[in-house]
Structure 1
Amino acid sequence: MKKFKGLNVLAMLTVLVLVLAACGSKEGDKGASSSADFPNKKFELIVPYSAGGGTDTVARSFADLAKDDLGQPIGVVNREGGGGAVGMQNGANAKADGYTLSMVTVELLTLPHTGLAQFTYEDFKLVSLLNEDPAAITVRADAPWNTIEEFIEAAKTEKLKVGNSGTGAIWHLAAAAFEKETGTTLNHVPFEGAAPAVTALLGGHIDAVSVSPAEVQTHVESGDFKVLAVMADERVEKLSDVPTLKEQGIDLSIGTWRGIAVPKETPDEIVKVLEEKFATTIQSEEFKATLEKLNLGHRYENGEGFLNLVKSQDELFTDLIPAIGLGK
């Protein structure tokens, strides 16, 4: 009798294990199904800056084009504040189901190093890079320096005034990195954005600016400015005659960029779908034309390429920001 009861219990346990296994299989199928039919609802794209700005304009153009490739609409939500910290923190904390996207910028790296944000790039999975604009050294057309070598030699003997877009902003950091790599000492002059700095250069109140080529292009075309060098890996298409710093033996590539990211816990298979869909959108002639109209540089990278760029620049800022007294 005891043996019979023991077998009975064993049989019941076996049945229970099989039932649980079946349930688990169904749950697994459900998970696979939810990934397989992704996407099946509206997306939200968080923009960490105000409506009407450059990042917002790029985001809305991207969202409008990407909806056709995704097969679902993308609603753009502006969550500005803290120089981008508020919106990017919201993006990092969002539900990791692939439906909340974040437009991330170079401030994803600079804000944490200056102690103005609690997140890091490791709180995200990077999906696609869609834009990049390098810093450049630009002077007035009547300035005595015609090459970047001449500018560097002058900056070693006198404190040239270089305008930027604000203390701790990317164009200030670019000038500081240039200073560090060339052994010069610059007089950094902060302005409330790149446009006032450019105006000051036009008026002869400063010697140079370290903003992007896009922000001086109009004055270069009018003959008022000349760009001496760009801080990029490759020459800028619209300024093909202007050398990079790397061509002059100065290993410095720095600038601003924009890309799409999702929370770090987002499943890889969902990130893969987004990456494939966004590749089509970002490399489309329509999106390139939008950036062209905005005078912004186009650069596409998939998640891996985007991450490589971010890691490289994060190393630069890890050393640079504390060195100029802006660390945590």
Structure 2
Amino acid sequence: MKYARNIKGVDPVAKRKIFSICMIGLMVLYLWGCSSLYRTQEDSTQEYSSEVEIEENLFPRKAIQIVVPYAPGGGTDSVARALADAAKKYFNKPVLVVNKTGEGGAIGMTEGVNAQADGYTVTMVTSELVTLPNLGLAPFTYSDFQPILQVNEDPAALTVRKDAPWNTVEDFVLYAKNNPDKIRIGNSGEGSIWHFAAADIGKSTKTKLKHVYFDGAAPAVVNLLGGYIDAVTVSPAEVLTHVKNGELKVLGILSAERISSLPQVPTFKEQGYDVAVSTWRGLGVPKNTPEQVVEILEAGFSKAAQDLDFIEIMNQLELGYKVAGRNEFLEIIENHHQAIKVLIEELGMEAANNDK
């Protein structure tokens, strides 16, 4: 009761001072609480933003698949598998190769175009990316793909069995002129670049050849070895092993200069025929693939293409090594597209939807 009496007896001025001090204290506590709440919300937002950024940078979170539009064992398949092996260390995820053959490469590239645009399906695109659409043999155009990287370029090589009666391009041409449509020449499919190579040989030499189509260069070479066809126009790498084994011989190279893997074989131009046809190979994804994913794919596969293991395998396989980034690769594709349109007109080949 004494304590109560002392409170009651406090001076009114002192009461006001005590009240003011209490109010100031309460306001300080309130402001501190608001500040803490704001900082908590801000920290939470920053943490969330970081999680989003981390999520985006997790690509790839699973295996990447490379679709090869041709049969196992051919040049395109060999390039894809060598690149996939090298790429595993740079993506830290499996890089798988799946062969989707048919219609000169149209089946596989169509699957690649229609794949989900998330970067997990990459297509090994080849010169057929421009030849097939120009002939109306594919439901896509080169503009449906976003190029990633070029990794290879090879000329065509006119190749026959070792026991064939021709040892030079001139021998071959003379026989073809005297026997129209009798020489069966195989390629990697109707509308394929190797089909164009054979057709260009016929045009330049004024001969008629019987074209035989296969789902890739490898089965064409197998049929040549078996005697079911008389010649093929495929890349040197796709016949080199059989040339070294004495089973096949190359009559001429369809390039501006001789190649290092077959230095003894003259070019068509050296033998009097102005014919030069080459293929290129590289990677592409559906055109709507996010830019950040495209950049990651280009960076990873560029490192793989410059990896010493990849270069060594390319040299062992005698495949032409040429690396170009996505912008340069796109320019190469566009220029080839225009050149093929002109060649189709010159060859008199039927071309539906040639204005693509």
| TM-score for the superposition, normalised by structure 1 | 0.72
The one-letter amino acid of 1:70's match is: F
Query: What is the distance in 2 between the residues matched to 1:276 and 1:84?
Result: 26
- Residue 72 (structure 1) shift: 3.4
The corresponding residue for 2:30 is none
Output aligned runs, 1:146-295, within 5 Å: 147-148=168-169, 159=180, 161=183, 163-165=185-187, 167-180=190-203, 182-190=204-212, 192=214, 193-199=219-225, 206=230, 208-223=231-246, 225-245=248-268, 252-292=275-315, 294=317
The corresponding residue for 1:15 is none
Is 1:42 equivalent to 2:62 in the alignment? yes
The corresponding residue for 1:124 is 145
Tell me the matched-pair count: 299
- Residue 259 (structure 1) shift: 1.5
Query: Which of these residues, 276, 294, 304, is aligned with residue 327 of structure 2?
Result: 304
- Residue 312 (structure 1) shift: 3.4
- Residue 124 (structure 1) shift: 1.0
The one-letter amino acid of 2:351's match is: G
The one-letter amino acid of 1:278's match is: F
Query: What is the distance in 2 between the residues matched to 1:270 and 1:282?
Result: 18
Identity %: 43
The one-letter amino acid of 1:172's match is: H
The corresponding residue for 1:93 is 114
Change (3 A) 1:321 1:197: farther
Partner SS state of residue 93, structure 2: coil
Is 1:327 equivalent to 2:328 in the alignment? no
Query: What is the distance in 1 between the residues matched to 2:198 and 2:108?
Result: 27
Change (3 A) 1:212 1:52: closer
- Residue 287 (structure 1) shift: 1.7
Query: What is the distance in 1 between the residues matched to 2:60 and 2:242?
Result: 47
Contact residue 66 and residue 278 of structure 1 kept, 8 A: yes
Query: What is the distance in 2 between the residues matched to 1:212 and 1:56?
Result: 13
CA offset digits 1:234-286 (Å, max 9, x no partner): 43221023233456675543244431111223344543332232222123232
Contact residue 231 and residue 255 of structure 1 kept, 8 A: yes
Change (3 A) 1:230 1:31: farther
- Residue 318 (structure 1) shift: 2.0
Query: What is the distance in 1 between the residues matched to 2:174 and 2:291?
Result: 50
Larger radius of gyration: 2
Query: What is the distance in 2 between the residues matched to 1:183 and 1:237?
Result: 26
Partner SS state of residue 125, structure 1: strand
Is 1:133 equivalent to 2:154 in the alignment? yes
| TM-score for the superposition, normalised by structure 2 | 0.67
Structure 2 unmatched runs, 5+: 1-45
Contact residue 130 and residue 340 of structure 2 kept, 8 A: yes
Query: What is the distance in 1 between the residues matched to 2:301 and 2:166?
Result: 43
Partner SS state of residue 210, structure 1: strand
The one-letter amino acid of 1:190's match is: V
Contact residue 132 and residue 255 of structure 1 kept, 8 A: yes
Query: What is the distance in 1 between the residues matched to 2:60 and 2:160?
Result: 52
Q: CA RMSD in A?
A: 3.9
The corresponding residue for 1:17 is none
Change (3 A) 1:169 1:262: closer
The one-letter amino acid of 1:117's match is: A
The one-letter amino acid of 2:209's match is: N
Partner SS state of residue 297, structure 2: helix
Is 1:316 equivalent to 2:327 in the alignment? no
The one-letter amino acid of 2:57's match is: D
Contact residue 131 and residue 340 of structure 2 kept, 8 A: yes
Change (3 A) 1:155 1:288: same
Query: What is the distance in 2 between the residues matched to 1:240 and 1:304?
Result: 33
Structure 1 unmatched runs, 5+: 1-25
Query: What is the distance in 1 between the residues matched to 2:243 and 2:73?
Result: 23
- Residue 190 (structure 1) shift: 1.6
